[in-house]
Structure 1
Amino acid sequence: MSTKRTPKIEKPGILNTDQIRELIECKVIVGWDGPDDDIGKSSFDLHLNGYYWKLPAGIKCSRYSRVVDLIKRVGGKKKRIPKIGLRIFPDDEYVYLFELNERISLPKHFYGQGTGKSSIGRLDILTRLIVDYEEKYDCICPFRARNYRYKNLYVEVTPLSFPIKINNGDAIFQLRISKGDFQKLRIQSEIIHLFTNLMKHERGGSVAGADQTNLRLSLKPTKDGTIALKAKRRKEGFAPLKLSVKKPYYPPKNYWERIEKESEDILQIDGSLALKVEKNAFYILRSKERFILPDNIAVYGLAMTEEVGELRIHHAGFVHPGFGRLREDKKGTPLIFEVRGHDVNMLLKHGDLMAELKYYPMSSPAEKGDEYYEEQELKLSKIFKEFRNED
């Protein structure tokens, strides 16, 4: 293997497609062998290498330990993913930890931030990136330890609504790399307020000022009358969802139900619509605000808190530069919220505050090109076909 080289990336910001490829060529990232389209405008996919551990509980690393050392302490045994795939069920009492093919050694001033892929989060699958010598989940800092050149990467996978089937090589997690600390790179709100073309209201017109840093819930029906999508309760005969399918395959009516205005889950409160979120149920919802991002800004959506009362709210993945700009109707594209109820039922009202937005500059503008979810309203994971009118 050729020697690791320092990448010639000088300008601070989130790295684009070509800059990520430069990290791979410089051997900052090793083990990456995915297709070209697994490197996106501001992130790249990580791939399972075929091995996993079935653990009695989740683990958390420290700045002085490797993940494999922690696994040994809890008695985990390394296993190979079967050729026919590994089935995992929502009620499984074990935690599944998968080793990733990629390893990474970030130079000084380079940082990594991860999140589950959008198509995975929309399946109600919890994922966490665990990295050698990193105290925080989903984060990678420049290398500090002396004895190991590369950090090994692992992802913890927990399905909550549907049984799933995992195969060797699956890409279920993505990583964003920055030149400069993410906290220091973040574009401050007083500067964001100067922009007038980052997003639009669902009723039309540009969003301005402080509203550009928040996302609120939309319960406005789509063209086909859908307000929300709700995962069906698991039943006997539910076929495990294969995460590696490359195009829409599963009929949505077998796994999801559409909630419309006439549904008993929709209420009227003070003239506005409200959704009754049932305990232990999972929903796909969308934002009122609609993005039209330029090619030199990337966004990360952070739930106001991951746990809001009796709800868990999460935004589905990173928001890439240029998102919404190529949409045919020119109205911009809303973001998707993944919402799970906990121990009691709870109401969410139209316009409720759901997430905070963090804006970051790109180190170099991203290439132009559309995204799979560019035309989304209430969009399921890409493994599902579209709902038909009769569904």
Structure 2
Amino acid sequence: MNAGVLPCQAIRSLVADGSIAADPPITDTQIQPASLDLRLGSCAYRVRASFLAGGGQAVTDRLREFSMHQIDLESGAVLEKGCVYVVPLQERLDLPGDLRAVANAKSSTGRLDLLTRTITDGGTEFDRVPPGYRGPLYAEICPRSFSVLVRPGMALNQIRFRRGSAVLDDSELRALHDAEGLVDTAPVIEDGLGFSVDLAPRDGPVGYRARPHTGVVDLGRIGAYKAADFWDALPADRERLILDPGAFYILVSRESVTIPPDHAAEMAPYLAVAGEFRVHYAGFFDPGFGHSAAGGTGSRGVLEVRCHEAPFVLEHGQIVGRLVYERMTERPDALYGAALKSNYQGQRLKLGKQFY
């Protein structure tokens, strides 16, 4: 069998043979070109601190130790800013020994500064599921900028399945760029495809900064909230931006990015030596993102940026992240784009789908 990321048709096969199960059953809308959306269950646990289960321990054992109280989500419940919650997911896994998985926040989740990570029984890392894992899945959720209202069945994170390793090295990545034009600028290739921040827009704001005191965001309401009630638009200022410690920003890449149909990509965490800030909460880029075969002409990468201990000057064109490309085991039978009503095909600077 080919090494690489499993496409949507292979995920359907995993559902059919019981390797992925759920109650209620998995729906077609959960299956993306190279990932599966994971749904919240019917309750949440407010916990004293973030945790990993650790080798040989179940998440339920750790919940008995750290849980403060249980919350019923059936009628909708607010997860408060600054608090940590653990929510059992509706999906569970019984993976074959040659498959492992990695999870990440969905795009709209990251754009809300909603830290969401997957934990498993016996897990020693967030968002990593070892080969042959058999057991339940849980989401750890920590709203950082806005309190949010959630209900059972909402999908905040997603999971990819991999067989072996098919990450492209730098020479393979250069060849793929020559064939496909992965970015619309001269590529910076070193342990992945580098991308930089755009702080010189032709029109409109350079980005957005989350306002510190706002109302609740109901995650199920699309296009329901006025952006200015939750975000401060940032005007262009000499092609630089001073990041404030503790603040959360939505910015955009200078490059337009393309993901060919037979590849997937993941935004890798950027090295701390570049500055006291973090880029990326939602890191999956699906096959077809920005690609002409899926109705795209290149799409900017939206950057979710949080500054840490000290103010930091970000300059126009500064490298802030990198995309790691890997092969699919086969081309998906559905690509990211207009046919799937994908929210961010052809995007430029764009907030989450809850805002207008």
Please report the TM-score for the alignment, with normalisation by the length of structure 1: 0.83
> Which digits, 9 at most, give the CA deviation of each residue in 1:213-240, with x for residues without a partner?
1111111214x32211111121xxx331
Alignment partner of 2:147 out of 163, 186, 190: 163
Q: Which amino acid aligns with 2:97?
A: K
Change (3 A) 1:213 1:321: same
* Pair 1:372 & 2:343 matched: yes
Partner of 2:315: 349
Partner of 1:187: 168
Matches of 2:86 and 2:189, distance apart in 1: 43
Matches of 1:356 and 1:218, distance apart in 2: 15
Alignment partner of 1:107 out of 96, 110, 119: 96
Gaps of 5+ in 2: none
Per the TM alignment, residue 73 of structure 1 is displaced from its structure 2 partner at its CA by: 2.8
Matches of 1:302 and 1:140, distance apart in 2: 18
* Pair 1:231 & 2:210 matched: yes
Per the TM alignment, residue 200 of structure 1 is displaced from its structure 2 partner at its CA by: 2.6
Partner of 1:126: 115
Per the TM alignment, residue 18 of structure 1 is displaced from its structure 2 partner at its CA by: 1.0
* Pair 1:86 & 2:77 matched: yes
The number of aligned residues is 348
Identity of aligned residues (%): 28
Gaps of 5+ in 1: 1-9, 145-149, 386-391
Q: Which amino acid aligns with 1:200?
A: V
Any idea what SS the aligned residue of 1:301 has? strand
Q: Which amino acid aligns with 1:84?
A: S
Per the TM alignment, residue 137 of structure 1 is displaced from its structure 2 partner at its CA by: 0.7
Matches of 1:355 and 1:306, distance apart in 2: 11
Change (3 A) 1:24 1:208: same
Q: Which amino acid aligns with 2:85?
A: Y
> What aligned pairs does 1:199-348 form with structure 2 within 5 A after superposition?
199-201=182-184, 207=187, 210=190, 213-222=193-202, 224-234=203-213, 238-245=214-221, 247-261=222-236, 266=237, 268=238, 273-305=239-271, 309-326=275-292, 331-348=297-314
Q: Which amino acid aligns with 1:381?
A: G
Matches of 2:29 and 2:4, distance apart in 1: 22
Per the TM alignment, residue 331 of structure 1 is displaced from its structure 2 partner at its CA by: 4.5
Q: Which amino acid aligns with 2:60?
A: V
Any idea what SS the aligned residue of 2:42 has? strand
Per the TM alignment, residue 64 of structure 1 is displaced from its structure 2 partner at its CA by: 1.4
Matches of 1:382 and 1:53, distance apart in 2: 27
> Which digits, 9 at most, give the CA deviation of each residue in 1:117-169, with x for residues without a partner?
1100000111111011221110111236xxxxx31111111111111111111
Matches of 2:257 and 2:71, distance apart in 1: 42
RMSD (Å), alpha carbons:
2.3
Q: Which amino acid aligns with 1:56?
A: R
Any idea what SS the aligned residue of 1:200 has? coil
Partner of 1:41: 33
Query: Which one is further off, 31-40 or 45-54?
Result: 31-40
Partner of 1:174: 158
Any idea what SS the aligned residue of 2:12 has? helix
Please report the TM-score for the alignment, with normalisation by the length of structure 2: 0.91
Q: Which amino acid aligns with 1:323?
A: F
Query: Which one is further off, 32-41 or 371-380?
Result: 32-41
Any idea what SS the aligned residue of 1:24 has? helix
